[in-house]
Amino acid sequence: MQSENNTSAPTTPRLRHRRRSNEAIPDATKANGSHLLVHDRNKYKSFLVRAYSTVWMIAGFVLIVYMGHLYITAMVVVIQIFMARELFNLLRKAHEERDLPGFRMLNWHFFFTAMLFVYGRILSQRLVNTVTSDKFLYQFVSSLIKYHMVICYFLYISGFVWFILTLKKKMYKYQFSQYAWTHMILIVVFAQSSFTVASIFEGIFWFLLPASLIVINDIAAYIFGFFFGRTPLIKLSPKKTWEGFIGASVATITSAFVLANIMGRFQWLTCPRKDLATGWLHCDPGPLFKPESFPLPGWLPWKEITILPVQWHALCLGLFASIIAPFGGFFASGFKRAFKIKDFGDSIPGHGGITDRMDCQMVMAVFAYIYHQSFIVPQSFRVEMILEQILTALTYEEQKALYMKLGEILQERLFGQS
């Protein structure tokens, strides 16, 4: 009887599949786009975790801004390293790389080569201005700047040769896909960072205001969606709602106008930094940061209102931050869905990884720099641009000859006018 009972259909063994910790688990009971934050049962717990992390991030960010340009640049570098690590790990296959010792180091070689190239071009003139008082350092730095592109090129070529020499049979496809993925990461990370750092040294205002608007938009969208969200906005981000999007847009544009007035009154934020020092700044803020008074109707308790001209430009930044920049987040959401992950990492509790917080910032940083160069900076040759060419392209003897010749020309013009 026992053998007869065992003649039933054989049972198939149960297979257990390990799921990645950050993999997005779809809810089969709900249509895509209907899982709104307002319906989430655990929303108050996630709200507290997210709020706690946000407070710490904002406090640290304010401290770094107070410390100055170099510290902000260092913060950008750290963010880039974390972003690169998260993106490198996205397509990493540990079992493949066990047979390729040193292959991960090659990715970081390309990363730091790109960092040297980008920051060398941005900070070269400011480095020269910092060491002009020391003749030896000045000549050494001038030589480095002169051959900066050559140095970066040979560093890249050495990585290229290194990659070719490490090609291994039966792993060509994986190695070339990683090579292409590395270059894509470099474009994503450094294309926006060059604009970000350039904006920092043009004046912290042009970095801080756009970055703050993205933070405000993100927080406002979360809060409005948390309490009032009912209508799904886009299927790529199921928890985003029209109520959150519209509420965040109003809050962001209003904040842009108000924050520009507050930030524009501090020379520490508005003065450009011409060197790599950390001392206090004093400068003429320019017409954009000089208040203008406008009379108000007699029935109001105030007779006039004071507005900085830069506040009108801030409205443009606010419009972009509230309407266009969120599409950077939608792009990141689609990217994560393509790879079936919930977040790029888990560096920030309640927020995911660093890359999850930088998606909109990258779009905003590029726009802020382009807007500043197109509508704020005078479209003419600046003294700083000409001086940079003289210091980097001419030898010390040629610079002395130029100095003497320029002195003669100015003396002739001075005596001619008298």
> In this predicted model, what pLDDT tens digit does every residue of 166-214 receive, in sequence order?
898 888 888 899 899 999 999 888 877 778 888 999 999 999 999 999 9
Which range marks the domain in which residue 209 is found? 204-377
pLDDT score recorded for residue 231: 87
pLDDT score recorded for residue 233: 85
> Are 229 and 326 contained in the same domain?
yes
> Are 368 and 386 contained in the same domain?
no
Does residue 4 carry a pLDDT above 50? no
Q: Is residue 55 part of a domain?
A: no
Q: Pick 335 or 250 by higher pLDDT.
A: 250
> Are 292 and 404 contained in the same domain?
no
> Are 220 and 324 contained in the same domain?
yes
pLDDT score recorded for residue 109: 95
Average confidence (pLDDT) over 215-232: 89
When mean pLDDT is compared across 95-99, 198-202, 396-400, the lowest value belongs to 95-99
Q: Is residue 331 part of a domain?
A: yes
> Are 112 and 194 contained in the same domain?
yes
Tell me which DSSP letter residue 270 carries. Answer: H
Does residue 131 carry a pLDDT above 90? no
When mean pLDDT is compared across 10-14, 106-110, 277-281, 307-311, the lowest value belongs to 10-14
Q: Which of 157, 153, 156, 145 is nearest to 121 (CA)?
A: 145
Q: Which residues contact 357 (CB under 8 A, 6 or more apart)?
A: 218, 348, 351
Q: Is 291 left (phi over 0), alpha (psi -120 to 50) or beta?
A: beta
Does residue 8 carry a pLDDT above 50? no
From residue 305, how far is each of 252, 301, 334 by CA, in Å?
21, 11, 45
Token pair for 50? 């997210």
> Are 176 and 89 contained in the same domain?
yes
Confidence category of residue 261, pLDDT binned at 50, 70, 90: very high
Instruction: Tell me the whole-structure pTM to 2 decimals.
Output: 0.76
pLDDT score recorded for residue 119: 92
Does residue 11 carry a pLDDT above 50? no
**332/222 Cα distance (integer angstroms):** 17
> Are 326 and 387 contained in the same domain?
no
> Are 326 and 297 contained in the same domain?
yes
pLDDT score recorded for residue 237: 78
Element (H, E) at 204: none
pLDDT score recorded for residue 93: 67
Q: Is residue 127 part of a domain?
A: yes
> Are 372 and 232 contained in the same domain?
yes
Token pair for 268? 């520490």
What is the average pLDDT value for the chain, to the nearest integer? 83
Q: Pick 25 or 257 by higher pLDDT.
A: 257
pLDDT score recorded for residue 350: 63
Token pair for 177? 């896909």
When mean pLDDT is compared across 93-107, 144-158, 197-211, 293-307, the lowest value belongs to 93-107
Q: Is residue 229 part of a domain?
A: yes
Number of domains forming the structure of the chain: 3
When mean pLDDT is compared across 107-121, 168-182, 294-308, 348-362, the lowest value belongs to 348-362
Q: 284-293: per-residue pLDDT in tens?
A: 888 999 999 8
**354/369 Cα distance (integer angstroms):** 22
